Structure formats: structure tokens, C-alpha cells
Chain A
Amino acid sequence: MTERKFDLEEYGKRSLQFRKEIMLMLNKAGSGHSGGSLSCIDILNVLYYYEMRHRPKEPAWPGRDKFIMSKGHASPALYVTLAGCGYFSGGELDRFRKLGSILQGHVHVKVPGVEFSTGSLGQGLSVAHGAALGARLKRSGERIYCLLGDGEMQEGNVWEALMTAGNFGLDNLCAVLDYNKIQENGPVKEIKDLEPLKEKLENFKWHAIEIDGHDLLGIKCAFDEFRATGGRPTFIIANTVKGKGVSFMEGQSKWHGKAPSDDELEKALSELENMKV
């Protein structure tokens, strides 16, 4: 995954497959976070299959780029991606949230390929900029990526981290916001609006890019732009749809922390089957 090829159809098919696997594993688990997993899966698909330098058969490879999943509740999206890359067997996905499984409810380092355990919101970006500064100090050339949820942008720690990374000019750091506009109790805009977000980030000395977070080519281009940007960290505002791909989950806050029943699973899978790539 060090050479950068991009076959749009292949990426589209993979996203579709990942969405099905997310639904299957959540149904099997009987609990978990559907909406925010479906909204960020296209980003993770491009991140792990196009953007990052990593070796699934050698998770501790010293030259690897690192990813911090700040929105740790969207673990299904990360787990299906890592299984897809070959970090562990896809069969393990059936054991998500079960006693004794490596696949903890929130992202956990015991899963091969996971760098850092998360689950308390608002903390990942600080870890990411610490790693980015460490990498800069080592002159290792590695890049650090961090995925945030829009709800956690309300945490003060995120803004401390934004201020720090901007001040240090960490151009080896790329944050991506899964901006699905819905948090547990309703629209982000109504609960505590983030806007005007791009301007805020630019004022915090970041290079901000706004994209459609389900446009796979657009995600790819944003990562290309990140790598071409010097002197500032990059923040990709990825506009997404909560529950993307499953009509009855789309834009619904009630699907934030809920898993599909057997009937709902069947409906979701049939919709995904018919989704255009």
C-alpha cells in the first residue's frame, strides 16, 4: 500500500462491501454505533488503501504512518477496514463486543493495526500532534492522521489541540472531520453549532479543505493536497451523511448508538446490494 494507484470502481465496491460488513457485525453484536460508522467508512477506505504507508503483515513496521481514531465509538468502520487490509481474520468481526474478543466496543490497541485506544471523545488530536512532533524530531518522514467526529468538536481539548498543531506548524499531521451533522441528541447545528468552521480552522493556522466525504476521488485529492502542503497542518472537513447508504438510518440521530435488528439488517443489506457504485 505504498504505491498510490486509484481505481475508483474498485474503491466504490470496497466501500459497499465494508458497509455490509459493518451492518453484519453490528447486528451480530446486538449493540454499537451504526450511523457514525457508515458516515466515515469512505474516508477510512481511501486512507488505508490509498493514502497511508503501512504493512498489514508487519503492524509494527517502523516506517509506517500512524492513524488515531479519535471518534472511538465508530470502531466497526475501523475494524472492517483493518480486517479488509489483512491485519486480522474477517471471522473475528463476528465476535465484536463479545467477552474475550480483541474487538472491543471502542477502538482498542489489542486489535492488530490499531495504534491507540480511544473512546472518551476529544482526546485523539492531542495524541496525534504529539506523535507528529515526535516524528518530526526523529526526522522519520512519517505522517500522522486523525479522524474526528463533529460532536466531539464541542470538547475543549480539541481546540487546545488545534491551537497547538497550528502553532507548531505540523505539516506531517492531517486531521479529517467526519462531518455528518448529527450527534446523539440531534443536529450539531442545534446543540452547539461548529460554524463557521473553515474560517475557525484557518484562524487556528490550519490548511483547511472542504470536501464531500463520500466522494472517493475527492477524498483522494484532499489527501494529495495534504501531502503537497508545507508549513501547516491540514484539516479535511469531510461533509458526510450519518448512516450513509441505509435509507432509514440516514440523518437519524436515533441511529447514533443503535445496531440493526434482524429485519433491519435484511433491509439494509438489500438496499446496499442495490446501491450504485
Chain B
Amino acid sequence: MDKKIAIRDGYGKALAELGKEDPNIIVVSADLEDANKILAFREAFPDRFYTYGIAEQDMIGAACGFSLEGFTVFANSFAVFMTNRAYDQIRMCVCYNNANVKLVGSHGGITVGPDGGSAQCLEDYAIMRALPNMKVISPCDALEAAKATRAISRSRGPVYMRTARPASEILTKESDPFTIGKANILREGKDAVIIGCGLILGEALSAADMLETSGISAMVVNMHTLKPVDEEAVINAARKTGAVVTVEEHQVNGGLGSAVCEVLSRKMPVPVEMVAVKDTFGESGEPEELLAKYALKDTDIAEAVRRAVGRRRPAG
């Protein structure tokens, strides 16, 4: 993979294209247009772009007002401000009213880097997943983000989508389908399955390469939709391999790992290891350094796979 593109860029490009195709799309913002990659939309459609200044709660309410008038609204901020600062507005105005509002939080995860712990959103999956009517999506690359943007604009009702700051590898193919709630297999394998979402799936694929050299065949599943989680894909992968590792740039509590365990504990109990941030805030540093310090690297994932495989019950 040579060319790296940020997930947020994939979103911004698709949003500007969608603006051309669908005159019903409104974009609202809270003073982070460049960081959220919505400048192209703003330039092209100034009459359908509104900023509320640094007032996320007001922006979310306004987005719901637009939806009352029949518009499809994309609301933008950093993941951390969107989901935390405006949580009650998201719960009440967006979810309780089942408003047709798409929340896009950029700068999700620890790979935000030098801005430090205050800016690194590590709880958005958990708190968005807890809300009725909400769908939660975390694309793994710019290509998938573009497809996801189109898909969520077509889906009726609330959606939260996390994007990320750093340029990252393209892990999917142009021809890969994107269906909300339908996981994609990035790599086949038989001894264990790594289920992940977001750009950290790059680390998962690299871990699978490492494991192969030591004779462990790891499947990698891209669970781009955390809610509704693809239960069938989780069960099938667990049944096939008997050992599961979840990988995410998120707190270990309440995120993808939890979503996967909620399925497996009821339907297919197998050993699960979770690679995630262990109930702590992040700090300043380069993304690579942070992934290493918080044990989210390919080597950590490979180690977790070995643990899961070791815990698996012998057949028969």
C-alpha cells in the first residue's frame, strides 16, 4: 500500500459530491471546517452550509430543526466534542425524535496524537451505541469512508460515524461492497479471527502476516458497523476459528469488543481477547508512539491472538 489518505478526507470528498447529487443535504458545523474536511462542501454550497460557532449543543438542536423541514443533515465536529459535549442533545433531539441527522466525529481514537488526552476520543462507540435508534459506523480507510458517507445519507434516521485524523493506508478495495450492518472479510483464516474497525485494522492485517510466519492462520473481519453489529458474521467467524480477538482505538469498556462479546456470550461462547485502551486517558505523542505505548500495535494484536488460541478448548 503506497498512498496514504486520511479517513476524514474520504468523508469530505464524498460529502461534496453528494451535495451535487442531493439538494436536500445540509451541512452544519461548529468551527472545525478544515479539520472536519468539509471546506469543499462549504465552498460549493454556501447556502446549504451553516456554522454555529463553538456551540456543539446548539448545532445538534439546529440540525434536528432542519430535519423537521425535511432536510438530511450532516453535523460535524471532533468526535470528542460531538459525542461528549452534546450528548444530551444527541439523546433527546436526535435519537428520542429519531431525527434524520448524521453525526460525523473526526479525530476519533488515540491516533489524534500530539493534541493529547483531552482531544483523543476513546468513548464514542460506547456512548453512541447505548442510544436507541442510533447506528454507529467507523470506516477503516478513506475509500470505505466515502462509501459509508453515501450509505448513511440514504439511510433514514440517526447515524454516528467516526473518522480519523492521520493519513492511513487504504485497506479495502474499490469493488468491496459497503452495506450498513454487514461486515466485510479482509482476510481469510482458520485458527483465529481478528475483528476490528477503523484504521487500526492496518495493524490487524500486519499482525495476521506476522502470525502466518509462525503457523497461525488468522482471519481479519472489518466490522465497520458497530451498531447494528453483524451478528451472523461474528458467529460464523467464531464458529470457524474458535478464538476471537477484537481490536479498536477505544476504551475496552463498551466498544467493539463489548459488542462482539454481547453476541458471543449468548450465541457462541469462545475465548475472546480485547485489544483496546485499558480504562485510561491518552496523552501527547506521535500516533505510532501512542499505539505502541497503549499496546495497540500489530505485535500486541499478534500476542492477543496467541493468547486466545491458547485458551481455546481442544477439539473433541
Chain A residues with a Cβ under 8 A of chain B: 66, 109, 115-120, 123-135, 137-138, 140, 144, 156-157, 160-161, 163-164
Q: How far is the CA of A120 from the CA of B59 in the complex (A)?
A: 16
A52 to B125, CA, bound (A): 42
- Interface size range of chain B in the complex: 20 to 34
A161 engages B68 (CB within 8 Å):
no
B47 touches A126 (CB 8 A): no
**Number of residue pairs across A and B with beta carbons under 8 Å?**
94
Whether A157 contacts B65 by the Cβ 8 Å rule is no
- Chain B residues 41-95 with CB under 8 Å of chain A are 47-48, 50, 52-53, 55, 57-66, 68-71, 88-89, 91-93
Q: Are B89 and A157 closer than 8 Å at their CB atoms?
A: yes
Question: B65 touches which one: A109, A117, A133, A156 (CB < 8 A)?
Answer: A133
Q: How far is the CB of A244 from chain B (nearest CB, A)?
A: 28
Asked if B118 is at the interface (CB within 8 A of a chain A CB), the reply is no
Contact B62 A126 (CB under 8 A): yes
A173 — nearest CB in chain B belongs to which residue?
B65
B97 in the interface (beta carbon within 8 A)? yes
Whether B264 sits at the interface, judged by CB under 8 Å, is: no
Task: Identify whether the interface residues of B are mostly helix, strand, loop, or mixed.
Answer: helix
User: Are A129 and B88 neighbours in the complex by a CB distance under 8 Å?
Assistant: no
Taking a contact as CB atoms under 8 Å apart, the answer to whether A157 and B58 are in contact is: yes
Report Cα–Cα, A98/B190, bound state, in Å: 54
Q: Are A135 and B69 in contact (CB under 8 A)?
A: yes
The smallest C-beta distance from B95 to any residue of chain A, in angstroms, reads 10
**Known: A126-B60, A131-B69, A164-B55. Contact between A120 and B47, CB under 8 A?**
no
Query: What is the distance, in angstroms, from A168's C-beta to the closest C-beta of chain B?
Result: 8
**B55 partner residues in chain A, CB cutoff 8 A:** 160, 163-164
Interface hub of A109, A132, A133 (most chain B Cβ within 10 A)? A133
Report the Cα distance A126→B66, complex, angstroms: 10
Minimum distance in angstroms from A170 CB to a CB of chain B: 11
With the chains together, A144 CA to B89 CA distance in Å? 20
Contacts of B63 in A (CB 8 A): 130
A115 vs B60: C-alpha distance in the bound complex, in angstroms? Answer: 17
List the 8 shortest-distance A-B pairs measured between CB atoms, nearest first: A130-B65, A126-B61, A134-B69, A130-B62, A160-B58, A131-B65, A160-B55, A127-B65
Look across to chain A and name the residue whose beta carbon is closest to the beta carbon of B96.
A117
Which chain B residues numbered 3 to 54 have a C-beta less than 8 Å away from chain A?
A: 26, 47-48, 50, 52-53
Q: A126-B65, A160-B55 are in contact. List 11 more A-B contacts (CB 8 A).
A: A116-B68, A116-B93, A117-B96, A118-B92, A126-B60, A126-B93, A127-B93, A128-B65, A163-B58, A164-B55, A164-B62
| Chain A contacts for B58, CB-based, 8 A | 126, 157, 160-161, 163-164
Complex Cα spacing A135 to B71, Å: 10
Cα distance, A71 to B260, chains bound together (Å): 40
Residue in A125, A128, A133, A156 whose CB lies within 8 Å of B50: A133
